[in-house]
Structure 1
């Protein structure tokens, strides 16, 4: 007899979400994690100096509220406290001004001058239809519950960010503002579907702001695990899985792993065709990330940037496009797109009194081993003169170091695989059920399945629903 109904391998947000969903249904589950601390990429550590708390991977978590599954969990009762920055994100310009994405749609649009009406033309319908779109935006490909609003969204989402920005905006600053959120896609801004990231992430800013957990993203993981344990779930750390026999017996096994790692595990009954297709899975660009302990807040020239939790840096439309294009040609721009976050102005628990923290990353070719400290800090200095003088200590993470921290970050890819049009809906392979495998016991619940990267837990939730349907029909 099986000791467990289901076993989950990996304790990232998707693995924990899968475990919670199955435990909620009354199943006996356990999570097995290879690291000494849980959370996958959602962990907080003192990387620089004592008392300075840094989110090593995932950090700003708007999808934690946008997720239909996570937002309904009683995480507040288990230790989670959200911090909402005054401004979700901003984009500074070379003249020292900036545009800010406020929660208020109209306040945001009012900054854009001649493009105010066009901004509202894009985002007002999206916000009005959000309740209808919400169930399908973070779900596998299928027939949407509300086809008409979804089709209207798709007509804007499937083109490139370049197309949408030039179709709707006249002023270059408006285009750069949209590019800032669209570049989270980690694909060239001229690629199909890159617009979808700008649309969805900006919509979440207007809907939820871009919040983060008080005290560190690791507290989000902690709250999830506290709730999971309250349901009777088990967590086992320092448990490396190289063979299915390394795990107790169970009816189903859910792996919060990317295809490359899954294929290394012995004892899985995969046929040669499935293995070959999984071996062809494509990983996306990596990131080079830096964390800083600071003597004072980041001295942005723009007051809007100082009031923002996240800041996107890139000083022309051409500069932003070139930065993301070069990455996919194996190079790095000397003026890269920078994604920067600052927690301590809004969360005093992140640093000793009077001190601050910040982090930033740039996109780099997958597996790039180089240290890009100089170009990253130089780009920030253009938006915040004197920034380098505030640095007390720094921590750098190359793509190799990120993968050592979390093996799911293959080559520094933080999205679990390339998120272009070829793998946007059909990850890890084209298949009616992306979560199941040829082995009826084995399921994938990582960000290498729909809906892809981000701390939303929906890959884990949908994988758990598939397990329930296949093995526990009486509980569905």
Structure 2
């Protein structure tokens, strides 16, 4: 008979959110075990040499404005565990089809001069837009990375903005990216810097709510840059693991969670595929997609029927194709200034961005893909031999659970054609290539369902208290002592630790608030009212 291992908290998944949650619980003195199905930690924050010897590639995520700015990550002091940040000379370049490029630089005057080339007065308008951001940056970030409703951060915003300013901000949150850019700026350069950032999500420049994503990422780039970890994305994971080990936490590898064990409406532990039982004295936290937690690990029979019905309407973000190349020399851009940008947006003006998103929306493979390109050696010289470049690029496809290899390779050919157009001679520099289609991404990391990177759509109908389905906007679930700690929960996708931190806070609150019984009564009552 299998004996049960016992811990205060059992965390499912050693992705960045699971590791953040485990660290915070260990800091509170809890005995924590993390169950990771793979042989190594990190989820979508990992690095390896996959193109050619000496060329380091980030396998999934790469640039980290949210991680660098996140108060959650900042409070963990990961620099004490080996994490060092590096910046490219320019944060971002958006290259237009006519060859012109708008550049975002951490020096405000440099960005202003770039967008001024597209329209007289846009340099000053950019500075004004940044001043507005700087006024709300701290309370905005606090609001983003705390449970819903964000009482303290919201109060801070209201104190800064007063009522009318808060109403203007509320409007900005729902305005489409194209319209927001056109309201603030006159020229296409500044507009594209924001609109291109919006397409880091699965939203169109004309979708409600896309403007706030573009504004957020562009302004974070202006304030903090889009830095990368020296030595690869893996260094974020390594620092989180090192910190957890020092705090007394433990990670069990090759331990695939098969079932969340429940009794009398309460999470009691986890069973793994090898038959091992892991009993949780206080909490189970799951860094897995919401459908996987509710339908696979818990089971519909243990959940309110309306919750199960609503999961039928859960929407994933788009599928993704990601390619890494080892180049024998820097990218031969037509515009040499583009060579200084860590990230390059390539292949579309505003109308092109709209057409690209429209094709995705109707399930078509874009004929002219919009590319997000990363020049990793430009940002961090340790990524490849001197005088070379470790390059990556990704683009979206319509969401599907299955893609044939020939479809993926045909789209990679389109991607390489775009790169060759803007950087003639690119193909001759390639000494190694690694292609990760949607199926490859999911095979390596089952949480990336269909190659979706964000844990669910960024659309307004699946945000805040609507994420992952209409509910409390919190990490709590209808099962007592069970918490959703993945990017399927508020505040969503990105490497910032928000969902993991929110889950840890909820577990700690449930434990200390009148031994948890009164807390659970409040949460359970709220769920009864909902469902």
Distance across 1 between alignment mates of 2:447 and 2:168? 34
| 1:76 Cα deviation after fit | 1.2
Q: Which residue is equivalent to 1:157?
A: 173
- Identify unmatched segments of 5+ residues in structure 1: none
2:339 is the counterpart of 1:306: yes
Distance across 1 between alignment mates of 2:299 and 2:459? 32
Q: Which residue is equivalent to 2:415?
A: 376
Q: How many residues align?
A: 476
Within 5 Å, give how 1:19-418 maps onto structure 2: 19-113=22-116, 114=120, 115-142=122-149, 143=151, 144-148=154-158, 149=161, 150-244=166-260, 245-246=271-272, 247-250=277-280, 251-262=282-293, 263-266=295-298, 269-367=302-400, 369=403, 370-371=407-408, 372-418=411-457
**Alignment partner for residue 448 of structure 1, among 485, 488, 491?**
488
Contact preservation (8 Å) 1:157, 1:199: no
Distance across 2 between alignment mates of 1:431 and 1:474? 24
Contact preservation (8 Å) 2:204, 2:353: no
Contact preservation (8 Å) 1:69, 1:461: yes
Comparing 145-154 and 334-343, the one that deviates more:
145-154
Comparing 4-13 and 271-280, the one that deviates more:
271-280
Structure 1 or 2: more helix by fraction: 2
| 1:453 Cα deviation after fit | 0.5
Task: Find the residue that maps to 1:109 and give its secondary structure.
Answer: helix
Task: Find the residue that maps to 2:461 and give its secondary structure.
Answer: coil
- TM-score (ref. length: structure 1): 0.95
Task: Find the residue that maps to 1:210 and give its secondary structure.
Answer: coil
- Identify unmatched segments of 5+ residues in structure 2: 261-270, 517-531
Distance across 2 between alignment mates of 1:390 and 1:24? 48
Distance across 1 between alignment mates of 2:331 and 2:141? 35
Comparing 44-53 and 12-21, the one that deviates more:
44-53
| 1:30 Cα deviation after fit | 0.9
Contact preservation (8 Å) 2:195, 2:214: yes
Contact preservation (8 Å) 1:158, 1:196: yes
Distance across 2 between alignment mates of 1:315 and 1:241? 43
Comparing 11-20 and 273-282, the one that deviates more:
273-282
| 1:52 Cα deviation after fit | 1.6
Task: Find the residue that maps to 2:478 and give its secondary structure.
Answer: coil
Comparing 111-120 and 312-321, the one that deviates more:
111-120
| 1:267 Cα deviation after fit | 6.6
Q: 1:2 to 1:36 in 2, by over 3 A?
A: closer
Task: Find the residue that maps to 1:162 and give its secondary structure.
Answer: helix
Task: Find the residue that maps to 2:314 and give its secondary structure.
Answer: coil
Q: Which residue is equivalent to 2:20?
A: 17
Q: Which residue is equivalent to 2:472?
A: 432
Q: Rg: which structure is higher?
A: 2
Q: 1:89 to 1:98 in 2, by over 3 A?
A: same
